[in-house]
Amino acid sequence: MNQLITPNRFVFFLLIGSLLLVIFPLIALAFYNQPSLVDDYCFADTARQHGVWQAQQFYYDGWTGRYFHNFMVHTGPLVWEWYGAYAVFPIVLLGLLWLGFFFLVQQLTRTILSFTEQAVAASAASFLFISQLVSIPEFFYWYPGLACYSVSCVCFLFLLGTLVAHDRIQFRLNAGYLVIESLLMAIIIGSSETSMIMAMALLGTVLLGILIYRRKLPVSLLLLAVISCICCYYLIKAPGNAVRMGGNKLSQDLVFSVTQTVKYCWSYFPQQLFQTPLLLISFLFLPIAYRLTDRQNPARRYFEIHPLLAFLPYLGLLFVLTMLHYWAVGVQPVPRLLNSVNLILTVGWFYNLTIWVRVFRQNAGTFSFLTRYQWVFLVLVTVGLAYVTYRNKNLRMAYEDLRSGRARAFHEAFEKRFELMATTPGDTVVLSPLPVSPVSLVLGDLDPDPKGLWNRCWAGYYHKKGVKLRAVPEKEQNPTTTN
């Protein structure tokens, strides 16, 4: 058996198969995706009525300073009536997510892992991150969420990899690196306050580490810090932020924010540890962590800091990111924000794990479970992965939306709505409620109240004065068609 299928080959098929298992429904669902009634039509209608620049100014002054997010949603595919983009973008994002992990892994392991091993590691990271998503539609299918959080997550991975690559020339002033790093920082910071903290924490950590361990501060990183601070200024000082944060009296209440965050973290992060593949993938990561700490690996120096100097800031960053929504708007973190928090949870977890492997290796010596995979161990991990993957609610939901035909029925109902909006001669259009609501794709429908915001945006986009939902007799309602 060991000659036909070695432990390394088994891990290869296990992790590639796990990734294929989770991305298959995501790709299939993308072909049924439609512009969301939640925000998409409002952004598009505003941009078409007032122009892209003026629309962005409205949001910057009246709601949020997320300048890059504002740019993306006001130049989105719906503005140009490119409906097919809503099937293309989720697939492109999925590919970029894998490439982001691969680029980071490649920069860290370029001398110790083969291309195939790097691809497997990137696949494992992608599988884990997707399995940890709190909301699949808000990361992949809802365009405003994609523009706000998903793009910045991918850019964060590329920024990490670029910084590692830049460090190979000791962060010497290089126009190419500086332009790429500045562009990535501007995108990340301009996407949301959460991603701003992620990016500035990363840059601050790099600067502090170089100052402590190398006794210098490279000019290139100082310039990058100045550019990043300017980006933060334009994000934070936007007049619209005060409007958005003033909507809840509990916002900016420090005592409330801290106490609620402690309660939330106490339940949320244990779930991420024990109800996702995080711990199981960690076991498979141990041989890679061992090789990362080899002396022949130039990236070894990143893991030679004191464990507490890495672990405590890691916990602090997770706490701050989780507290941000309590502080800003007085409510618990929304799923799309938690998707970003999970990226820091994952990247930081494996960084700290590698440091602890180094410490263990130096103080306890070398053990076989650190250097190579063993069959008994792999069987237990495989059983565990099968169990947590089967129990994953988001994955089951995605497959069920496909199997039951809900995704197809939703897509067809939406197409009929487009036809009605185009062919109805009156100023007000009466539409039937969506017959199904596949929760892996859909965030909401039009409001029963014709004066609702989503109704007004939908009607305005199609040059109508109003749109309302037709009342459905109770006997025709089928509660089993919605999740």
Query: Any idea where the domains of the chain sit in the sequence?
Result: 7-401, 406-481
- Mean per-residue pLDDT for 255-261? 92
pLDDT averaged over the chain? 90
pLDDT at 246: 66
**pTM of the entire predicted model:** 0.94
Phi, psi angles (nearest 5°) of residue 345: -55, -45
pLDDT at 248: 67
pLDDT at 483: 33
215: left (phi over 0), alpha (psi -120 to 50) or beta: left
Of 73, 65, 76, the C-alpha closest to 193 is 65
d(CA 280, CA 371): 17
Contact between residue 428 and residue 465 where contact means Cβ atoms under 8 Å apart: yes
pLDDT at 254: 86
How many percent of the chain have pLDDT more than 90? 71
What confidence tier does 137 reach under pLDDT thresholds 50, 70, 90?
very high
Q: Which residues pair with 468 in a beta bridge?
A: 430
What confidence tier does 405 reach under pLDDT thresholds 50, 70, 90?
very high
Res. 474: pLDDT tops 80: no
d(CA 1, CA 362): 34
Of 372, 349, 393, the C-alpha closest to 286 is 372
- Mean per-residue pLDDT for 373-382? 91
pLDDT at 247: 63
Please, which residues have CB within 8 angstroms of residue 95's CB and are 6 or more apart in sequence?
none
pLDDT in tens, 46-95: 999 999 999 999 889 888 889 999 999 999 999 999 999 999 999 999 99
- Mean per-residue pLDDT for 242-259? 77
In order, the DSSP letters of 118-158 are HHHHHHHHHHHHHHH-S-HIIIII-HHHIIIIIHHHHHHHH
d(CA 72, CA 89): 13
- Mean per-residue pLDDT for 366-379? 82
- Mean per-residue pLDDT for 162-187? 96
Token pair listed for 394: 């988001």
Res. 470: pLDDT tops 50: yes
pLDDT at 51: 92
pLDDT at 479: 41
Res. 190: pLDDT tops 80: yes
Number of H helices, E strands in the chain: 22, 2
Token pair listed for 226: 């100045």
Res. 145: pLDDT tops 60: yes
Please, which residues have CB within 8 angstroms of residue 159's CB and are 6 or more apart in sequence?
181, 184, 185, 188, 199, 202
d(CA 413, CA 79): 22
Helix or strand holding residue 100 (H, E): helix 85-109
> Lowest mean pLDDT: which of 261-275, 364-378, 398-412, 442-456?
364-378
> CA of 176: how far to CAs of 180, 183, 207, 440, in Å?
6, 11, 20, 40
Token pair listed for 470: 């037709």
Res. 477: pLDDT tops 70: no
pLDDT at 444: 85
pLDDT in tens, 155-165: 999 999 999 99
d(CA 454, CA 443): 12
